[in-house]
Amino acid sequence: MKRKILIFHPYLATYRIDIYNRLSRDYNIEVLLTGSRLELRTLGFNLDKVNQNAKFKYLYYNKGLYIGRHLISSIFIKTIKRFQPDIILAHEYGINTIMAILARPFFHYKLFITCDDSLQMAKEYSSKRERLRNFIIQHIDGELVVSKDTQKYLQQLYPLKKYKFIYFPIIQDDKILSKKILKSAELANYYRKKYNLNNKKIILYVGRFIKVKNLSLLLHAYANLANEDNILVMVGDGDLKEKLQELICTLNLEKQVLMTGSLNGEALYAWYYLANVSVLTSTREAFGAVVNEALVGGCFSVVSDHAGASTLIENGINGYIFKNNHCDDLTKMLKKALDQNIEKQHSNRMPQSFDTFYNQLTSTFFPENSYTNRTHS
């Protein structure tokens, strides 16, 4: 009989589907999603895409009282009682985790939590939230953190509990993703002809056009190195689109910057196929799943040191990390990336494979039978 894993999470992002699908292959898993409808709309998740790709059992439940983004409901205890899990994987320091802690004396399960904080976010806790974190860490078996820097910080903060912090970044299955990107070659060649991209090096940004993404910094930095041999492609949309278009004109970059609008699926993968360099300039970013996608697509990646996904970057090997909000440093790193990535490589630049991370995670969940649960590459 398969071991049971119950997952509590506010919402289901497409970049979490691969890990849940893999867990469902090896274990009996159930996912309870409790984010509000408003939050789902704000974050812009494509629920149809989730429905098409999810191979695990999940339930959206949003009946009850919300305090901020946290649902107050008996659904957590009822689901634990019905499912009888061996492992609960709750989300961060919220109500769902507290419910799982309160129920532990009456059931038999290990309790792990996910925490999507970058190092910057982990350091900026309010005194109230820090007290909550102190309490929860005393009552869990482990915490999955998205960056090595966050892991190191928490290990120093809780030296007696340092074994509890497990590095597990938000990544997709590189084998599956790589095939999707390579299959987009025909569309990529169409883009190349349509936008006259032959012999041009492409810098790619993928994400929303919002303040925290710091796209004005990106445009100012790019203006320092823009020429006829390169182009900046910005895939996305958002409230700042018009202001960014005005800045593009002010910087005389109309012929150097291409805005495609929001894209997903093959239409997006084709840009990963084409791009030489990807960039993420966020001033505050829990992780940044687009960095994982770009690396799998063979892009040299330039990432802000305030983004959790900077943990995936090995300077000079698969990209560069630049100082947050520092235009000169960003310009320097973009230039180094363009100079270093002379020809586009369609090889995976991730420092570790999805399988490696997955095996480490399941060995932590079930150390007594980690060998038999190991996924074969």
Can you give the pLDDT at residue 328? 98
- Segment 263-266 long-range contacts (CB within 8 Å, at least 24 positions apart): 263/235, 264/46, 264/49, 265/49, 266/180, 266/183, 266/184, 266/187
Residue (of 303, 302, 327, 321) closest to 223 by Cα position: 327
Alpha helices (H) in 66-139, listed in sequence order: 75-83, 95-103, 119-123, 127-137
Q: Which residues, given as ranges, of the chain have pLDDT below 50?
A: 371-377
Can you give the pLDDT at residue 45? 59
Q: DSSP character for 211? A: G
Can you give the pLDDT at residue 97? 96
Can you give the pLDDT at residue 1? 87
Cβ count near 287 (within 10 Å): 24
Can you give the pLDDT at residue 123? 92
Quick: pLDDT tens for 158-182: 998 988 999 999 999 999 999 999 9
All CATH 3.40.50.2000 domain ranges in the chain, comma separated: 4-172+353-369, 174-340
Can you give the pLDDT at residue 80? 97
Can you give the pLDDT at residue 346? 85
The CATH label, of 3.40.50.150, 3.40.50.2000, 3.30.565.10, 1.20.1250.20, for the domain at 4-172+353-369 is 3.40.50.2000
Domain 174-340 is found in CATH 3.40.50.2000 = yes
